[in-house]
């Protein structure tokens, strides 16, 4: 018996919904994601890791250039590794806040009360580092990837939405530059740190900046 190759195309699994159902689902989704806020004050309470794993599965369903899936998600719970990441991130951020960011940038961050101290990198029970495969390697040979920024950006959005939907708080943290993460996590040169996401529960009484979002008419142009 010969072994058949899998078919190149299969039937699409698509849910055709009524207009009413679509209206309800779109509104529900909007109302849910509108409640997501970046959290900078995490409790140290542990989170169920199987929830995080399913959220990373969701991230891995994102579309990507030529379906290269150019991402790795590093899941960090080890307190010593979190401490090393915090120390290295704070060292970079001290440079940023004291020298590298200009006055306009510092002013723009005023409402958020951020500074070079990053206690959430140790307090949050989980850190996820999203890594972007600038290229891949196949037995040492370089394999080109496509639209990796777009692909990994979309996957990160899927991840944040999944974590929020599951009931977890997140922060999108971009210590800069992020080269120290490659060293701490011992990742290969083709994996570039893209985003550092602390995940957990907010501390009791957690406050967030009182922000407004742009209205639909400010973000939508119709043709
Ligand atoms: N990376 C720095 C500074 C910072 C920059 C922006 I733009 C933000 O929206 C928030 C912070 C930090 O993490 O403090």
Closest C-alpha to ligand 1, atom 8:
109
* Residue 1 in this model has a pLDDT that exceeds 70: no
Average pLDDT over residues 204-223: 97
What pLDDT sits at residue 2? 66
Closest CA to 67 of 11, 145, 183: 145
Distance 198 CA to ligand 1 centre (A): 14
Residue 65 carries which DSSP code?
Answer: G
Distance (Å, whole) CA 135 – CA 190: 6
How high does pLDDT run on average in the chain?
97
* Residue 99 in this model has a pLDDT that exceeds 90: yes
What pLDDT sits at residue 4? 85
Global pTM exceeds 0.85: yes
- Ligand 1 atom closest to residue 101's alpha carbon, by position in its atom list: 3
């Amino acid at each position: 018996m010969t072994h058949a190759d899998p078919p190149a195309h299969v039937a699409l699994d698509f849910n055709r919904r009524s207009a009413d159902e679509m209206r309800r689902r779109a509104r529900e989704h909007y109302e849910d994601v509108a409640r997501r806020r970046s959290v900078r004050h995490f409790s140290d309470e542990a989170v169920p890791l199987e929830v995080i794993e399913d959220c990373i599965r969701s991230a891995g369903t994102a579309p990507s250039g030529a379906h290269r899936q150019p991402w790795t998600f590093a899941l960090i719970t080890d307190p010593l590794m979190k401490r090393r990441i915090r120390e290295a991130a704070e060292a970079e951020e001290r440079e940023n806040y004291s020298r590298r960011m200009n006055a306009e940038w510092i002013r723009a961050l005023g409402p958020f009360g951020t500074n070079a101290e990053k206690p959430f990198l140790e307090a949050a029970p989980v850190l996820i580092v999203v890594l972007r495969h600038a290229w891949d390697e196949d037995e040492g040979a370089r394999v080109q990837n496509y639209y990796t920024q777009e692909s990994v950006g979309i996957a990160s959005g899927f991840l944040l939405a999944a974590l929020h939907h599951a009931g977890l708080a997140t922060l999108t943290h971009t210590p800069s530059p992020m080269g120290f993460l490659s060293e701490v996590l011992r990742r290969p040169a083709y994996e570039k740190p893209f985003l550092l996401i602390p995940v957990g529960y907010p501390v009791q009484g957690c406050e967030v900046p009182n922000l407004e979002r742009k209205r639909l008419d400010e973000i939508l142009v119709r043709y």
